[in-house]
Amino acid sequence: MIDYATWCAIRDGVASHLSAPQLAASLNLDVKTVRHWIDRPYAPRARVPRTSKLDPYKGRIVGWLDAHPLTAQQVFQRLRDAGYEGGISIVKDYVHKICPPRREAFLTLAFAPGKAAQVDWGLCRARHSPHYAESRTMPSSPGYRFRARL
């Protein structure tokens, strides 16, 4: 089977009145291959649908994921217990395809100016004795910033 670019090169060579041996030499192909494709339209090879080792278990996986938020590794372990003999990569691909994406794990906070304060503690090391310092800031209020030493 040749690719589409090679087929186009054969068609261009035929349009330029090159013979099959000349085309074969210029394209590094066998003469029989060039003669085969000179008069034929390009048709990619048809894909044969294959069954997966996971196909008998797909309904069971959907049921498990509807009942509990399982990871692909947990689904794989349950499938192994049920007699599944395939690999984990097929299970991971299928679980990631059918599961909705997880939400982001943070919460965005928004406060009006002057309604919240933020306190950060840090350790300031002096030459001989440590001192603790407190820094207070007001979010969204650049004019209300101060520092205090305790």
Q: What are the tokens at 137?
A: 């800031």
Residue numbers in the chain where pLDDT is lower than 70: 119-150
**Chain Cα centroid distance, residue 117:** 40
Q: Which pLDDT score, from 0 to 100, does residue 91 have? A: 94
What distance in Å separates the CA atoms of residue 80 and residue 90, rounded to the nearest whole number? 13
pTM over 0.75: no
Which residues pair with residue 137 across a beta bridge? 118
The answer to whether 131 and 121 are in contact (CB under 8 A) is no
Q: Which pLDDT score, from 0 to 100, does residue 121 have? A: 66
